């Protein structure tokens, strides 16, 4: 288990770390922790929070971008989409 003060995550051995990071970020978006239009924490912040490599964070962000949950603006960062697309567990999706 990794403890970063206010956030703790226990990585599962049977899943890729980037998918677990993606799932946690997706949960934060769909759960309202990160609201539409809000900036997603920077790669550097997420690397420190999750204790993983930058490439792991990049893969997770790229997957969320493909899902339509976030959009990335060069030199500004990644933002939660104004109207998040239904997620895999969403009955409308």
The tens digit of pLDDT for each residue in 47-92 reads 999 999 999 999 999 999 999 999 999 999 999 998 655 556 555 5
Which pairing describes strands 70-73 and 77-80: parallel, antiparallel, or unpaired? antiparallel
Specify the fold of 2-80. Arc Repressor Mutant, subunit A (1.10.10)
What tens digit of pLDDT does each residue of 15-31 get? 899 999 999 999 999 99
Q: Which residue has the higher pLDDT, 49 or 2?
A: 49
Q: Buried b vs exposed e over 61-91: b needs ≥16 C-beta within 10 Å?
A: bebbeebebbeeeeeeebbbbeebeebeeee
The two most distant CA atoms of the chain are separated, in Å, by: 35
Number of residues in the chain: 93
Q: Is the full-model pTM beyond 0.85?
A: no
pLDDT, position 93: 46
Range of weakest confidence among 10-14, 24-28, 42-46: 10-14
Name the nearest CA neighbour of 21 among 81, 78, 85, 53.
53
Task: Give the DSSP H/E element, type plus range, for residue 4.
Answer: strand 2-4
Domain boundaries, the chain: 2-80
């Amino acid at each position: 288990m990794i403890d970063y003060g206010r956030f703790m995550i226990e990585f599962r051995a049977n899943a890729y770390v980037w998918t677990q990071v993606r799932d946690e970020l997706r949960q934060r978006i769909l759960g309202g922790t990160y609201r539409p239009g809000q900036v997603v924490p920077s790669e550097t912040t997420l690397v420190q929070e999750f204790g993983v490599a930058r490439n792991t964070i990049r893969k997770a962000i790229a997957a969320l971008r493909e899902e339509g949950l976030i959009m990335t603006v060069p030199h500004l960062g990644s933002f939660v989409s104004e109207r998040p697309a239904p997620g895999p567990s969403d009955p409308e999706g």
